[in-house]
Structure 1
Amino acid sequence: MLERLGRCIFRRRWAVVIAWLCIFAGASIFAPRVTQVLKPGGYSIGKSESVVAYNDLHRAYGYRDLTFSVVFTGPPGARAKIHSDAVAFRCRASARFGAALAVTPPVWSPDGVVAIERVYSNPRDDFGAGFAGPLRAMLPHGSVRGALTGPSAIFHDMETISGEDLRRVEIVTLPIAAIVLLLIFGSVVASGTPVLMAPVTVTLALAAVYFVGHRVDMSIFVLNTASMLGLGVAIDYSLFMVHRFRQELELGRDVETAVAHTVATSGRAILVSAMVVTVGFYALTLSGVQMLRSLGIGGSIVTAVSLLVALTLMPAVLAFLGPRINLLPVVPRRLSTRRLWRKHSLWVMQRPIPIIGVVATIILVLGLPAFHLRVGIPGPQTLPASVDSRYGNDLLDRHLGYANQSPVLVVVKRDAGTPPSSYQSAAFTLLDRVCSSKEVAGIAPVPVPDSPGQIRSCQDLLTASQNVLSRQGAQARAFARGHHVYLLPVFLRTDPSSAEAERYVRMLRREPPIKGYTILIGGQTAGQMDFDSFLYSRFPWVIFFVIVTIFVVLLVAFRSLLLPLKAVVMNIFSVLAAYGVVVFAFQDAHMARLLGFTPVGNIDSIVPVFLFCVLFGISTDYEVFLLTRVQEQYLITGDNEESVATGLEFTGRIITSAALVMIVVFGAFSFASLAVIQEIGLGLAVAVLVDATLIRALLVPAVMRLLGRWNWWLPIRGFPPIRRRPAKTATATSRSPAAE
């Protein structure tokens, strides 16, 4: 069927190319608009305790979101100018947005250096990020500077930086990928053709995400992850097609037959590969987390578009080029590495046990840091320090201290039938619990204080609760009669994402209930814990789905029991190495200066799950290309060692080349501006590097040498029948193009 598709595309190549040009032109209109449908957040779980606490507060008090904090600063002696500019900003913002935004009057930090205004809004789908641009235009930029920070400003800046990173990475990676391909193919035309497929794929994929985003919530991180994968996968698939097409021409076949055989052989391998990679992306949708689901959808779209480009547009382009694919030679084609790969594989198979021991030791050393991996949800520190919202948040941290941190929100609900008179004793009991930890700095009357002075220490509050005057007691009882939901914003001395903060929340949640009251714990720390608990309670099922599905696909493809098991173990090695290097670089901060990020002591919660699913697909992708050729030779000769050597001889160079392109693309994203994208980029690059060198070049031939003919055993069927051919025929077949 695929061969017929290739011949059909050859005969209708003009129509295919014109159709793709029209599709590309249409996609170019919608792809730049993709950020309009991408959403922030995605780190909350709908029915979790922290979300229920927030919803109860919203229903009881019309609780509004803190959308922005505005920080005004200037030179010494400019206090009057700072105040007047802050008042002018408030007037302009109120006049333009009216009731949509509530801007508080300016207040001074305790040291009198900066003035602060808070901007509140009702909950919005975009978290109020749409206000960021107009508000920034109203800020002073002279001797007095205004900085817009807060959740919505941070998201707005993440969106802007994601687009800038994407453009910068494309400008850098495409020329580098072209140079790599030039060294691989030795011809300007042959190397340039796969590179041209990358922007087509990414543009069409982002346009598709734009339309899907109108129906399904899609995370802002889809922009970079989809582009990252689109660049790598599109070039890889096109590389395999060009490589096989040139081999077909070398055998003296006419262009139509060469195109047809290329689609039938490399096209089949790419189809199987795309199915395997899609399994990994589909597994992300099973996580139950909106952000990962959207990344899974985005990755599936990218893979489908890459497959479509490789099986339709690329054959049409090859049909037009024909022998001209070898035009503008730069590197002599006689410089072949096949003999080197063959010698290498035979050398490895002569000493399998030492090779396995050395490789396993290296992977274990790389993976050791993964055993103290700690996850968390990113905050302002995910942005570069020079970005406006990060700069403003750093100012607030400097001048407000822990008063700028997100508090633990203790929400108290009085149950129906509980008399208001019990409020005072319940409050005392709860206060005693809340203040039982040395991590507590104090409690404020509001969740967003403007000064540390608004945060009262636990000792003061406990003393006050024991010495309540009659008038104060009457006021408390009157408040209790008028409300059934109460809030205690508890401020800690430690960062909300720290292990100490999580232990504190866990301690509060373990406390026995107070009769007649329901206690809910919310806030950033509790929300992070609820998200991580939900995600990682489902992660084992995601792992199970990925492993079982890929095992079954390989079992059917290669009719072997041990080869799929071996592939699963090898993939786990690659994932372990990636986890270890990411923890070493980011959590342990050993690459903070090199990559230019601010260490926060954890890894983004989504990164381990995302890396596992994507890497299992990509690693299996290379396994398919290698084992297809090994199996083809084994069924001819029945000689296991000869088959492995021949497989590496014909696929080692192209798999390593494809991996090198992937490493260039993924590695470029490790120098992005957003920490989460850096983590994903570095993890993918390291895993592909380990897979293409330690795993495919060393561990696979060593293990297959030890397993011998049992590589090809299948229960019930036993060993496959060998279609033995005369030596001359077998040799000729071994020198035919690999089924890549």
Structure 2
Amino acid sequence: MRTTTGRPWWVLAIALVAIVGSVVVGSNVTDRLLAGQGTEDPNSESALAGAVLEEHFPEGRPNLVLLVAAEAGVDDREVAGQALAMAEGLAYEDDVVGVTSYWQTGADELKSDGGDQALIVARVGGGEAHAGAVVADLADRYGGEHGPLDVRVGGQTAVLNDVETTIDEDLVTAQAVALPLTLLILVWVYGSVISALLPLAVGVASIIGTNAVLWFIAGLTEVSVFAQSLTIALGLGLAVDYALLMVRRFRAELEDGHDPPAAAATTVRTAGRTVLFSAFAISSALAVMLLFPLYFLRSFAYAGVTVVLLAALFSLLVVPAALTLLGHRVNALDPRRLFRRRSNGRAPVSPEEAADRRWKRLTRTVMGRAPAFAVASLVLLVLVGLPFLRVEFGMADDRQLPADAESRQVADVVREEFSANATGVIDVLVHSPHAQTDTAELTRYVERLSLLDHVDEIRSPVGVYAEGSLTQARTPVDALRESASHSYLQVVPEDGVADISPESQGLVRDIRAVDTGLETSVAGQAAAVVDAQEGIGERLPLAIGAVVVSMAILLALLTGSVVLALLSVVINALSLTAMFGAVVWVFQDGNLSGLLGFTPTGFIDTALPVLMFCIAYGLSMDYGVFLLARMREEYERTGDHRTAVELGLRRTGGVITAAAVTLAVVMLAIGASRVTNTMMLGWGVALAVIVDATVVRCLLVPSVLRMTGPLTWWGPEPLRKLYRALSSPAAPVFRAPSQPGDPNLGPAPLPDPEPVTGVRTPDPTSEPTPGTGAVHARD
């Protein structure tokens, strides 16, 4: 702190060097990030079996699809000749294996119902990034018109390429929208262009620094490109939160007559403590995603924890240094003067005065009817969360892309005009070597599988079976379904069963439940969804427990109260109900899909609720820390519970509202993405932030605390000692007189002051006037 305020130029210079270095390192971070879903458990049965299938039967797991259309029909001689030559040419491309086409096999499932389109499918080997580069090159050379052929490129890898490109473009747009809007909001909130630029600078610096850190992490492990959305949202949102708190406290210290270095030092000791607790709280919520094996979730932990800590670091070091140099110029360039009105023609009413009057009316209304507001708030939150009870889980596919993406168009055509799941089946791997496998046992197993519900047919080394009977004898194609160490079966669901629908997931469970003496594994998209759900379900109790315990400990240390910590943990969870209910109502059920421009699939990506819980819960704790820290400060100052709750809300209500509006704007800019998962994340978290800052912080919290009374502040003596050790010595502390029983239940009521003739008795909950000798309420 002494270095920050004593040598501010050195601090700013070092920060500038670090930012420039981060720009150089992190400028190409996107090249290292992965566009894959990242929602598969790498140690699950489906993932391990999939790796074996890719090695031994690559043609069974295509990730490249060429949709070939011809006006003359796919059986036309000239069309067939050119298409066959294209398939053969594709087979000779580097890293391309397992090429299969309609013209090579004559398979009906590779031909459209109308007969004017057919498929060439292949497997591109290598890692995700390498395969993406290969497919991008192939799309340039094989896509488009080739004589009578019109070729469009699709498949899983092409979808991932389109997802990455779309997200990159959308993030540029989001930043172009969010930055100027954030600046306008901050100028109005701060009443100073100079002050407004500080949080914006902190946010940009945090984003740049996080990109550099992600560049290093992505060189060591898998990191999803989706994590960049969180980097931008939290980088700007938390920079506004923290800098807003710091600047408001600094201004209050200047008004109290302190010089800039002393004001900055006090700001770090008081508001800085709140920032530190907030950063720890949000980081703890985000860090629990490291408990899950899915790299999609782990990526958000890497990005989220980094950007939160950097935002706090810049706020605690760079902001005080800048404030020390700016001094009273921090209030310069106030455009709100043009909008101020005069009160009774005598003096202008500042926005701060007008806001304080509104918060005063609101707090007194809520606390005056506490039971009614508490019950109404609880009922509202529960009702809007009810749709989540019918949530269905799946895995995001090509339909998260906009309708004009080529890979999405190819997948739509395959779904609508091709039968028998041309590119999507459930894979079953028999691990015993064929020489050691009893053919009769394998046949009996295939027969049992063909009798399961929602099964159209089974393709196997012993032929094609349907409803327990052989429908097609073993062919040369079937012979390719076996190797020296494995046999490969394809379970084709009946028409109408989507690849990752609840029916297909149920079919995976039924397949695994079939009794057989063979060693088998099930793979495919539906199996990956089932395994991801089980992996998340196994670790979810531990993750929730870690979040709850860490938050309760932090809040107990912040407030010195066990009761308040436990109440806050429960209340913060209630603030998420609106988000989860809206996600199901909008994105699963499809309401507002036309307005928002997405395609509903009837399910929610399995990993998204976990991600949204960690982010939204951490942000709700951020606002909770702001509010509770101020309430505790007022309780220490006045010793009166009701006054502490009222003043705490009045003094932080504006900060929380401004921070929530700014963060909601940023999240809505992210939510304007054309990728459904990113849209869901942005809109969902924005809704959670708004509900938390309004219904929860303004209505539920003060009404509940009004009813709990002085018991709110109870804590055991060891906790109170630890709280006092961690508290700032800047604020005067009210010492309650000893009382029978528990002395921590609060002080005796303060006596009414003796009236003095000719002197107006001040409102005990109003803001003291600086310079009068009264304790000035601080942020």
Same fold (TM over 0.5): yes
Answer yes or no: is 1:433 the counterpart of 2:440.
Answer: no
Q: How does 1:437-476 map to 2 (within 5 A)?
A: 437-444=452-459, 458-459=466-467, 462-464=469-471
Whole-angstrom CA distance in 1 between matches of 2:174 and 2:602: 27
Matches within 5 A, 1:178-577: 178-332=183-337, 334-336=350-352, 337-414=355-432, 420=437, 422-424=438-440, 426-444=441-459, 458-459=466-467, 462-464=469-471, 483-492=484-493, 493=495, 494-512=497-515, 514-515=516-517, 517-577=518-578
- 1:129 and 1:153 in contact (8 A); partners too: yes
Could you tell me whether the CA contact under 8 Å between 2:394 and 2:603 is conserved in 1? yes
CA distance in 1, matches of 2:266, 2:778: 10
Cα RMSD for the two superposed structures: 3.2
Question: SS at 1:219's partner residue?
Answer: coil
- Note the residue ranges of structure 2 that are not aligned, 5 or more in a row: 104-109, 338-348, 721-741, 754-761, 770-774
Q: Is the 8 A contact 1:86 1:115 kept in 2?
A: no
SS where residue 714 of structure 1 aligns? Answer: coil
* 1:106 Cα offset (Å): 6.8
Q: Is 1:72 aligned to residue 68 of structure 2?
A: yes
Distance 1:641 1:263, change over 3 A: same
Q: TM-score if structure 2 supplies the norm length?
A: 0.85
Distance 1:89 1:282, change over 3 A: same
2: distance between equivalents of 1:119 and 1:706? Answer: 66
Deviations 1:439-486 (A, max 9, x none): 12223469xxxxxxxx96615x71458xx7xxx79x999999974522
Letter in 2 for 1:71: L
Q: Contact between 1:249 and 1:258, CA under 8 Å: does it hold in 2?
A: yes
Counterpart-to-counterpart distance in 2, 1:731 and 1:398: 67
Letter in 2 for 1:231: L
Question: Structure 1 length as normaliser, TM-score?
Answer: 0.89
Aligned match of 1:48: 44
Query: Quick check: 2:449–2:458 contact (8 Å CA) kept in 1?
Result: no
Alpha-carbon spacing, 1:117–1:307, altered in 2? closer, same or farther (3 Å):
same
Once residues 552 and 162 of structure 2 are traced to their aligned partners in structure 1, the CA distance between those partners, rounded to angstroms, is 42
Measure how far apart 1:725 and its partner are: 9.9
Query: Residue 47 of structure 1: SS of its match in structure 2?
Result: coil
1:10 pairs with 2:10: no
Instruction: Give how far 1:231 is off.
Output: 2.1
Residue 606 to residue 708, structure 1, CA distance change in 2 (3 Å): same
| Contact residue 51 and residue 527 of structure 1 kept, 8 A | yes
Work out whether residues 64 and 122 of structure 1, in 8 Å CA contact, stay in contact via their aligned partners in 2.
no
Instruction: Return the letter of the residue paired with 2:135.
Output: A
If each structure's helix is expressed as a fraction of its own residues, which one has the higher value?
Answer: 1
Q: Which amino acid aligns with 2:405?
A: V
For residues 479 and 229 of structure 1, do their structure 2 counterparts lie closer, same or farther at Cα, with a shift above 3 Å needed?
A: closer
CA offsets, 1:252-292, max 9 Å, x none?
32222222222222211111100000100111111233221
The structural deviation recorded for 1:91 is 7.5
**Contact 1:149/1:392 (CA < 8 Å) preserved in 2?**
yes
Shift of 1:327: 2.2
Classify 1:179/1:89 alpha carbon distance in 2 versus 1 (closer, same or farther; 3 Å): farther
State whether residues 291 and 543 of structure 2, in contact with CA within 8 Å, keep that contact through their aligned partners in structure 1: yes
Alignment partner, residue 452 of structure 1: none
- Report % sequence identity: 28
Residues in 2 aligned to 1:481 and 1:120: alpha-carbon distance in whole angstroms: 18
CA deviation vs aligned residue, 1:380-402 (integer Å, no higher than 9, x gap): 11111111211121122233134
Map Cα deviations across residues 238-260 of structure 1 (whole Å, 9 max, x no partner). 22222222222233322222222
Q: CA deviation at 1:354?
A: 0.8
Alignment partners' CA distance in 1, 2:648 and 2:478:
82
Going from structure 1 to structure 2, the CA distance change for 1:63 and 1:101 (only over 3 Å counts) comes to: closer
1:704–1:150 distance in 2 versus 1, CA, 3 Å: same
| SS state at 2:204 partner | helix
SS in 1 for 2:651: helix
The answer as to whether partners of 1:85 and 1:140 remain within 8 angstroms in 2 is no
Alignment of 1:22 with 2:17, yes or no, is yes
Partner Cα separation in structure 1 for residue 45 and residue 522 of structure 2: 7
1:449 corresponds to:
none
* Partner residue, 2:111: 109
Answer whether contact 2:54 2:61 (CA < 8 A) is retained: no
Q: Which runs of 5+ in 1 are unaligned?
A: 447-454
Q: Secondary structure at the match of 1:9?
A: helix
Native 8 Å contact 2:643 2:765 kept in 1 = no
The corresponding residue for 2:672 is 671
Q: Against the structure 1 CA distance between its residues 567 and 440, is the aligned structure 2 distance closer, same or farther, given a 3 Å change threshold? A: same
Shift of 1:691: 0.7
Residue in 2 that maps onto 1:606: 607
- Cα drift, residue 666 of structure 1: 1.2
Give CA deviations for 1:40-80 in whole Å, capped at 9, x if unaligned.
Answer: 24222233221232244355556775231122336678978
Shift of 1:563: 0.5
Higher relative contact order (CA 8 A, sep 6+): 1
Alpha-carbon separation, structure 2, partners of 1:464 and 1:141: 38
Deviation at 1:491, TM superposition (A): 1.3
Residue 519 of structure 2 aligns to a residue whose secondary structure is strand
Question: What amino acid is the match of 1:135?
Answer: L
Could you tell me how far apart the structure 2 residues matched to 1:364 and 1:643 are? 28
Q: Is the 8 A contact 2:59 2:123 kept in 1?
A: no
Higher mean C-alpha displacement, 432-441 vs 591-600 = 432-441
Q: Which of 145, 164, 176 is residue 171 of structure 1 equivalent to? A: 176
Q: Secondary structure at the match of 2:419?
A: helix
| Aligned partners of 2:450 and 2:458 also within 8 Å | no
Cα offsets for 1:77-110 (capped at 9, x unmatched): 8978876875776677667x43555655674734
Query: Partner of 1:450 in structure 2?
Result: none
